[in-house]
A and B are shown apart, each in its own frame.
Chain A
């Protein structure tokens, strides 16, 4: 069955460092991958989209990579800030699908 796995444990990093979150998938051939941020009591907020033929995407302090051979996406937040503390979700979509499939998310805590 299709599986989307993200770091199961929370990631704690110091302010100013780069946070790297991992999304691995199996039994899936996604056409694109998206990353979302979710704060407690709120709905997910879209951050970035990367397609299967793209290796890397950047947006301000965010960078996403997509390796279809390794079946993995990495999500980087450079110069992290306490305000970046949240849960980050990866989501995969296919050309034949009718909705995104989400991973369980990774909780990121950035301490001053």
Chain B
């Protein structure tokens, strides 16, 4: 199946730990994104990445770092986890770049992160 897949689907961890979320797309898209959806269901952009070029959202703490081994993968590493990091994290991809706005995004099914 062509899709955007994320692992793990659920992640429960203690404060202070370091964790990673993996994302892979087999759609051949050049652009990938990480979004955070908080408890109020608000989807907020964290990072966008186009063909190994990273565009960083300045409002994201330095504890969050994306890593892209190739254009089909965009992983998210989080250091020193805090309670406020608890949310659902969505990976997405698109065929074009956001400024072109020709195609819609394809989202993964999300990773629910709970920090205790």
Contact = CB atoms under 8 A, between A and B. Distances in A.
A31 B45 CA distance: 18
A102 B112 CA distance: 19
A98 B99 contact: yes
A99 B98 contact: yes
A104 B41 contact: yes
B90 to A, nearest CB: 5
Interface string A27-49: 00001101010000111111101
A94 B97 CA distance: 11
Interface residues of B, number: 27
Contacts of B57: 99
B99 A89 contact: no
Given A31-B99, A43-B90, A105-B41, 8 more contacts: A41-B109, A43-B4, A43-B92, A43-B107, A43-B109, A43-B110, A49-B102, A102-B43
